[in-house]
Structure 1
């Protein structure tokens, strides 16, 4: 696993909204375009270099409407230097054909989940034909995929993708271990390290996400093993026992502080683009 020459430090991705939490339960959850922009600016200042976006409509419900997606991508790209990554997972209830249209919004990056997984009482559906089609389309659109691995079997699917279709656009292979989802791999150091040991040699960087209580243990495990981080209210809404997260930048700032303490300071947005092989789409 060899990162690009000269790129050291920690990639911090912020996932500020997600598709699971309700605005009525968490008024501080950024769901409007104005809130997303304010969050993006503050999280960039706190140390994030990638923003992973799920979009909501005017009623604060998850949506894959192309107009909403394009508006968010363009606005965040204009207001910040962040790498803009759109979720192609949407909600677990979104049809597969709708999820493919996310690429029409021309993000810098997109999530690409490498297999189906139980998701609490629901099923997050990602059959092989869909995964392969999304991969090929992303390369044709010059969008860099982030391979989301919810279980060890997903690592094998990543291997199959690379063997069948070659490297993604940009030539880098960045994966994110999503741990702690009920039905997926647990949020433990052992689980993360088992996944890292299985990664194909083409992988150039990896990060880890701990859902809920797994947030801090997985963050520590990833940093200590040379990995990168994803934080945000999509994955965790409790800052510490008895205190709910008030803003996503709190989670980014804590991740950045830990990275600096371990002498792996946060990457700049320019360094993140080099690490991931992202194409320049900003009009500047």
Structure 2
């Protein structure tokens, strides 16, 4: 069991969830405030997506990331920033024509595709301490999340050159396999950081057997965390800690504090921290997290 836990709060995601819970932050000011609220509740890391302030839809604009980074870095409250670099992979494939005719496949409305360099642009400008690197393609609900092997190699090279720690997000067992390949090819520096993403249809299920199967395929020197979505968020906090990993909560993954009770990010962090402490552990503060993961702002210069 891991008793020194890094607790990430994923404060807002890419989905259009504001209509389901008005506490989901949308504007850069709201997202920055949510990061700081999560930090005051005990979070070690804030995982950040950005949204269009007018529509609430997902966005990739560097100016929104910049405002969030500036607001958080200028605050007295400390937290490690982990920016998403996984946007721009949404494909809704559509067949044109009718049966019996020459049919073609095209990207239907709602598709959002970016090159690795476009995905990386906000990271290169803001240089957060951590950014995500999603490690494969996936049937993600009703769409395909597109992330080819060559794109991932190119993206990993850009992250490595920027000196940012990649969080290797794995939504299925094959993603762990490919992440190990990136490590073997020398594209991931230092001890790798994995995030096991559980419960997203149609990837890895949010249950102990699946988490342990993925954990057991990680390199011996890996740092790892896991999360579950929806009602499985808190059970996966406990399971990850017991299995030796770190934890993640937040409104990106779950909108409710309990059945019928809408959450905010600080409330989810506080509940997870209470669970971790009830199991005999404690949550690392941001500076201890930097030191443990050997991030750019570490004081020790090496992983604990």
TM-score by length of structure 1 reads 0.91
Distance 2:79 2:260 in 1: 31
Q: Secondary structure at the match of 1:239?
A: strand
C-alpha contact 2:120 2:159 (8 A) present in aligned 1: no
Query: Aligned residue for 1:143?
Result: 164
1:189 and 2:199 correspond = no
1:26 and 2:21 correspond = yes
Measured against aligned partners, the alpha-carbon deviations of 1:31-60 in whole angstroms (never above 9, x if no partner) come to: 112212221221111110100000012212
C-alpha contact 2:131 2:165 (8 A) present in aligned 1: yes
Query: Aligned residue for 1:220?
Result: 238
RMSD of the alignment, in Å?
1.7
C-alpha contact 1:187 1:217 (8 A) present in aligned 2: no
Query: Aligned residue for 1:252?
Result: 269
Distance 2:219 2:112 in 1: 30
Distance 2:251 2:64 in 1: 20
TM-score by length of structure 2 reads 0.85
Q: After the TM superposition, which of the residue ranges 159-168 and 143-152 deviates more from structure 2?
A: 159-168
C-alpha contact 2:87 2:114 (8 A) present in aligned 1: no
Match of 2:81 among 81, 84, 104: 84
Q: After the TM superposition, which of the residue ranges 94-103 and 224-233 deviates more from structure 2?
A: 94-103
C-alpha contact 1:14 1:231 (8 A) present in aligned 2: yes
Query: Aligned residue for 2:95?
Result: none
1:130 and 2:151 correspond = yes
Query: Aligned residue for 2:259?
Result: 241
C-alpha contact 1:179 1:211 (8 A) present in aligned 2: yes
C-alpha contact 2:173 2:204 (8 A) present in aligned 1: yes
Distance 1:24 1:241 in 2: 18
The structure carrying a bigger strand percent of its residues is 2
Distance 1:242 1:24 in 2: 15
Match of 2:280 among 246, 252, 263: 263
Higher relative contact order (CA 8 A, sep 6+): 1
C-alpha contact 2:21 2:262 (8 A) present in aligned 1: no
Unpaired segments ≥5 residues, structure 1: none
Query: Aligned residue for 1:67?
Result: 63
State the 1:166 CA deviation: 4.7
Distance 1:122 1:214 in 2: 22
C-alpha contact 1:77 1:84 (8 A) present in aligned 2: no
Determine which structure has more spread, i.e. the larger CA radius of gyration.
Answer: 2
Unpaired segments ≥5 residues, structure 2: 91-110, 299-304
State the 1:26 CA deviation: 2.4
Distance 1:232 1:174 in 2: 19
Distance 1:58 1:36 in 2: 10
Q: Secondary structure at the match of 1:184?
A: coil
Distance 2:63 2:133 in 1: 21
Distance 1:95 1:183 in 2: 20
Match of 1:198 among 189, 200, 217: 217
Distance 1:217 1:48 in 2: 18
